[in-house]
A and B are shown apart, each in its own frame.
Chain A
């Protein structure tokens, strides 16, 4: 009997301990995670992000998505998914039937059914991500960048980016993947700077970059390398904008684990768009992200977003190792949402594989009334350099700056050498 009681007590103790641990490592909508209860999210966010919570830099409001997100990422046109349409060879995607490079004429994500045991999972996630990020169609974004120290906002830059998603077209004789123009509007000393980038589907064709510099009144040809170099002196590089980016051929991807995580979203409800010409536009009727420098009551750092939504989601944790020794990052670890395959976190290690900086990307969902136009968008990110205690925020969507999506009447000639002239002072 005594032995029975002892075993019973041990069993109860084990059960209680297990239950407590589970409760401690789980979160439910309505929870507010801060430095007093960070244990609840241990393992559910990357360690650097957990450290931010422990220090009191980040407070996370846990919620749930109050809508079905599937229509937003299963393919922005209702088209039948074609399984096995694409091949991946050395991290280059090709259409099996035609041999064409890139996501040629893809109307649905190229790898809709992902298997955690697939050794190519990391690469497939990147191609799916590219598809989803282009699912907004041609887009015009007015974004604002903030460079912040811990206690203050240092400088602000504003720019407009126009992206022409060539692979949605039928007629693409130069085999462009996409073309982009970035126009810097502020600060004054950089205002008028214009950058044009041509990206090709065929990886043998190097991207072409052109920059108009108002100081010399001329368009210069720019290097297409240096994608991991600081962009405009900030904490982000070109390959950071949008999360884990870059030339897929230059990385080895590996799945590290599959698990549940707290994933960042702009909001737990979709944002309503309005009709604008042949596309859609944001209104001024949605909440802006409030960063630390805008909230006088916030005790944390100036860069931290204080009102984004954190939702429990299944994620794939993927490691990307750079093969190019000139690339500034040796290792990057990205946490991809398992359903719509966009990364909400990116952790960066330097050439010596020492931890350097971390990024949070928050995703927004957008729709126009009850039509088929539904999309998701990486509408903001903050990159925190934990060595310098400094950060760069890129806020792509704001009630103060209109964003245009699925702009069918965007003029492709604007993205040519001759058309680019109109953006040059």
Chain B
């Protein structure tokens, strides 16, 4: 039985080996190779605000990341029957040396979980690898690839939910570096004009590869703020033992603490019918661009479902010894629409997007990770009568709406020789069941409660960019505002071009103390020095 994730490789192999196609390479510059190397050194610019592990003071080195990416494009000439084609390969790798040669705090973090950090600190992979085939109105792309639908960007996604996003490796990494290519078969068919609809096309994809975004391990530079592991366990199990200190539990019940087992397995859909897939119809009506989309997606973050394993349970089978916090992904459907319109008098592009998520898995820890109810009258003898119920998934319909404006303008008092480019976005998120207790399964260490989410959220993003020195210097600022949490994100950067080098300084500022949205990283402000070199 061929595993789903290798299906795309099989398809490519089949297509390449049938019919004895001869593939002519490099006929008239058909092969194009380039590469880039990027080294990033980041320093924290604020002191820790509590419960960030390790607690790094301002001025500490927090990232020393080295990244190599190669791109190989091969035009396929002389394919039979009028087909054209291209092969695109992107091997890439990175190594963050901070855990081996950085501050002692990070070296200690790695020592505490060598296996996890050996995996986390470096990687080399065929990031993208696909084959394009096209003839007439039909285009096919098969292999590991990225795909982005919708009109709203700047970090806010409505229909752009095909590829998982890896935010574990850095703060404010490029979107394309975060986007994780997945194996898929994708096709586009151009249907031309039909009545009032012009430039009609239909696009569909099927992505059987089950790649999910990694979660930054505890102690990594960009992990969520959390208590230390043993403090977390104590905090989680404390309600069970109101009269007995957990650390004495082992004495009272003569239980070896090491017997308790905690696991966080990933649970990923493995049936083909649960694969990511989607279909889009696009067309133009005058100046208005329209797209209708429907997709089956996986959540960006898993739902943590607590399941008790009663195997070899304690106290005669009453108290579980094994706790599984299953990081669960379930497929769900999204229906949406995108619009774009160029207004010539204002010289603006307006964008709009709406998406309705059907039965999207949502985080409600009270239901996902239920703990037995304990009150003040509870005694230890009642432990054997406790009911340990497994957690359940919770689903809700979610409406997301976004508006965006793009505008080029001149501000000659700031830059007399080049214009400014502005991208502005607003996204609103509206959960339909307002009675659910939406929370993240992450404890706010200062309150001991889970970080709250709300049924209605609003975010704004603004990107401004201009150039100086005849294009050699680019100045850019990305900013975001979380209305609920009153948090501000501002990322100004400047980049200078010198031959094949790029020198960039980027400052990340997160304002506000609310542990909401990106405010979770409230004490991760940093300044990054990035040097890139292009081999071409």
Co-assembled chains A and B: yes
**Contact B146 A233, beta carbon cutoff 8 Å:** no
CB closest chain-A residue, reference B128: A425
Q: In whole angstroms, how far apart are the Cα atoms of A224 and B347 in the complex?
A: 8
Within 8 A of A (CB), among B462-495: 467, 470-472, 474
Q: In whole angstroms, how far apart are the Cα atoms of A217 and B128 in the complex?
A: 13
**Contact B137 A418, beta carbon cutoff 8 Å:** yes
Chain B residues with Cβ below 8 Å from A185 are 32
Q: In whole angstroms, how far apart are the Cα atoms of A214 and B497 in the complex?
A: 19
Within 8 A of A (CB), among B91-135: 132, 134
0/1 string, A389-418, CB within 8 A of B gives 1: 010100000000110000000010100111
CB closest chain-B residue, reference A390: B470
B19, chain A: closest CB distance, angstroms? 21
**Contact A388 B417, beta carbon cutoff 8 Å:** yes
**Contact B340 A155, beta carbon cutoff 8 Å:** no
**Contact A187 B282, beta carbon cutoff 8 Å:** no
Q: In whole angstroms, how far apart are the Cα atoms of A61 and B41 in the complex?
A: 53
**Contact B176 A216, beta carbon cutoff 8 Å:** yes
Q: In whole angstroms, how far apart are the Cα atoms of A45 and B200 in the complex?
A: 50
Decide if A222 is an interface residue (CB 8 Å cutoff): yes
Which of A218, A390, A416, A422 touches B132 (beta carbons < 8 Å)?
Answer: A422
Contacts known (A147-B470, A230-B419); A224 close to B179, Cβ less than 8 A: no
A315, chain B: closest CB distance, angstroms? 30
Contacts known (A223-B408, A418-B139, A418-B191); A218 close to B148, Cβ less than 8 A: yes
CB closest chain-B residue, reference A409: B82
Decide if B166 is an interface residue (CB 8 Å cutoff): no
SS of A interface (majority): loop
0/1 string, B412-424, CB within 8 A of A gives 1: 0000011100000
Within 8 A of B (CB), among A169-222: 173-174, 185-189, 191, 206, 208, 214-218, 220-222
CB closest chain-B residue, reference A158: B536
Chain A residues with Cβ below 8 Å from B34 are 186, 188, 191
**Contact A216 B153, beta carbon cutoff 8 Å:** yes
**Contact B146 A217, beta carbon cutoff 8 Å:** yes
**Contact B189 A188, beta carbon cutoff 8 Å:** no
Q: In whole angstroms, how far apart are the Cα atoms of A44 and B536 in the complex?
A: 42
**Contact B474 A233, beta carbon cutoff 8 Å:** yes
**Contact A217 B176, beta carbon cutoff 8 Å:** yes
Chain A residues with Cβ below 8 Å from B499 are 154-155
Contacts known (A224-B344, A413-B136, A413-B137); A233 close to B467, Cβ less than 8 A: yes
**Contact A216 B148, beta carbon cutoff 8 Å:** yes
Interface residues on B, range: 35 or more
Chain A residues with Cβ below 8 Å from B200 are 418
Chain A residues with Cβ below 8 Å from B149 are 218
Contacts known (A216-B148, A221-B289, A221-B340); A155 close to B471, Cβ less than 8 A: yes
Q: In whole angstroms, how far apart are the Cα atoms of A122 and B199 in the complex?
A: 36
Decide if A226 is an interface residue (CB 8 Å cutoff): yes
Contacts known (A187-B500, A206-B287, A421-B139); A233 close to B176, Cβ less than 8 A: no
**Contact B139 A417, beta carbon cutoff 8 Å:** no
Decide if B216 is an interface residue (CB 8 Å cutoff): no
Chain B residues with Cβ below 8 Å from A221 are 289, 340-342, 349, 351, 406
**Contact A421 B188, beta carbon cutoff 8 Å:** yes
Within 8 A of A (CB), among B242-301: 282-284, 287, 289
**Contact B199 A418, beta carbon cutoff 8 Å:** yes
Decide if B437 is an interface residue (CB 8 Å cutoff): no
Chain B residues with Cβ below 8 Å from A416 are 190, 192, 199, 201
Q: In whole angstroms, how far apart are the Cα atoms of A215 and B132 in the complex?
A: 20
Q: In whole angstroms, how far apart are the Cα atoms of A147 and B502 in the complex?
A: 16
Chain A residues with Cβ below 8 Å from B57 are none
Decide if B74 is an interface residue (CB 8 Å cutoff): no
**Contact B139 A186, beta carbon cutoff 8 Å:** no
**Contact B418 A230, beta carbon cutoff 8 Å:** yes
Q: In whole angstroms, how far apart are the Cα atoms of A141 and B186 in the complex?
A: 29
Which of B36, B160, B474, B497 touches A154 (beta carbons < 8 Å)?
Answer: B497
Which of A188, A218, A233, A392 touches B36 (beta carbons < 8 Å)?
Answer: A188
Decide if B531 is an interface residue (CB 8 Å cutoff): no
Q: In whole angstroms, how far apart are the Cα atoms of A46 and B341 in the complex?
A: 43
**Contact B188 A418, beta carbon cutoff 8 Å:** yes
A97, chain B: closest CB distance, angstroms? 26
CB closest chain-A residue, reference B404: A220
Within 8 A of B (CB), among A131-188: 147, 154-155, 173-174, 185-188
Chain B residues with Cβ below 8 Å from A421 are 139, 188, 203
Contacts known (A226-B408, A226-B419, A230-B417); A174 close to B193, Cβ less than 8 A: yes
CB closest chain-B residue, reference A234: B471
Which of B198, B348, B502, B534 touches A223 (beta carbons < 8 Å)?
Answer: B348
CB closest chain-B residue, reference A215: B176
**Contact B176 A187, beta carbon cutoff 8 Å:** no
A348, chain B: closest CB distance, angstroms? 13
Chain A residues with Cβ below 8 Å from B201 are 416-418
Contacts known (A186-B34, A418-B139); A229 close to B148, Cβ less than 8 A: no
**Contact A187 B190, beta carbon cutoff 8 Å:** no
0/1 string, B341-357, CB within 8 A of A gives 1: 11010011101000000
B222, chain A: closest CB distance, angstroms? 20
**Contact B190 A155, beta carbon cutoff 8 Å:** no
Q: In whole angstroms, how far apart are the Cα atoms of A232 and B147 in the complex?
A: 25
Decide if A419 is an interface residue (CB 8 Å cutoff): yes
0/1 string, B29-44, CB within 8 A of A gives 1: 1001011100000000
Contacts known (A191-B34, A230-B467, A233-B418); A417 close to B500, Cβ less than 8 A: no
Chain B residues with Cβ below 8 Å from A29 are none
Decide if B375 is an interface residue (CB 8 Å cutoff): no
> Which residue of B84, B199, B418, B532 has the most chain A CB atoms within 10 A of its CB atom?
B199
Q: In whole angstroms, how far apart are the Cα atoms of A237 and B28 in the complex?
A: 30
Q: In whole angstroms, how far apart are the Cα atoms of A214 and B342 in the complex?
A: 21
Chain A residues with Cβ below 8 Å from B502 are 189
Decide if A225 is an interface residue (CB 8 Å cutoff): yes
Decide if B58 is an interface residue (CB 8 Å cutoff): no
**Contact A186 B148, beta carbon cutoff 8 Å:** no
Decide if A7 is an interface residue (CB 8 Å cutoff): no
Chain B residues with Cβ below 8 Å from A425 are 88, 146
Contacts known (A147-B471, A233-B474); A187 close to B534, Cβ less than 8 A: yes
Q: In whole angstroms, how far apart are the Cα atoms of A176 and B149 in the complex?
A: 27
**Contact B467 A173, beta carbon cutoff 8 Å:** no
Q: A155-B497, A419-B190 are in contact. List 18 more A-B contacts (CB 8 A).
A: A155-B472, A185-B32, A187-B536, A188-B35, A214-B176, A215-B176, A217-B176, A221-B341, A222-B349, A223-B348, A224-B342, A230-B419, A233-B470, A234-B471, A417-B190, A418-B139, A418-B199, A422-B134
Between A and B, 27 residue pairs with Cβ closer than 8 Å are: A155-B497, A155-B499, A187-B534, A191-B34, A206-B342, A208-B342, A215-B174, A215-B175, A215-B176, A217-B148, A217-B179, A220-B349, A221-B341, A223-B349, A226-B419, A230-B418, A230-B419, A233-B470, A234-B471, A235-B470, A388-B417, A388-B470, A402-B29, A418-B200, A419-B137, A421-B139, A425-B88
Interface on A for B, CB 8 Å cutoff? 147, 154-155, 173-174, 185-189, 191, 206, 208, 214-218, 220-226, 229-230, 232-235, 326, 385, 388, 390, 392, 401-402, 411, 413, 416-419, 421-422, 425
Interface on B for A, CB 8 Å cutoff? 28-29, 32, 34-36, 71, 84, 86, 88, 132, 134, 136-137, 139, 146-150, 153, 160, 174-176, 179, 188-193, 198-203, 282-284, 287, 289, 340-342, 344, 347-349, 351, 406-408, 417-419, 467, 470-472, 474, 497, 499-500, 502, 532, 534, 536
6 nearest A-B pairs in the assembled complex, by CB-CB distance: A233-B471, A418-B190, A418-B201, A225-B347, A188-B534, A217-B148
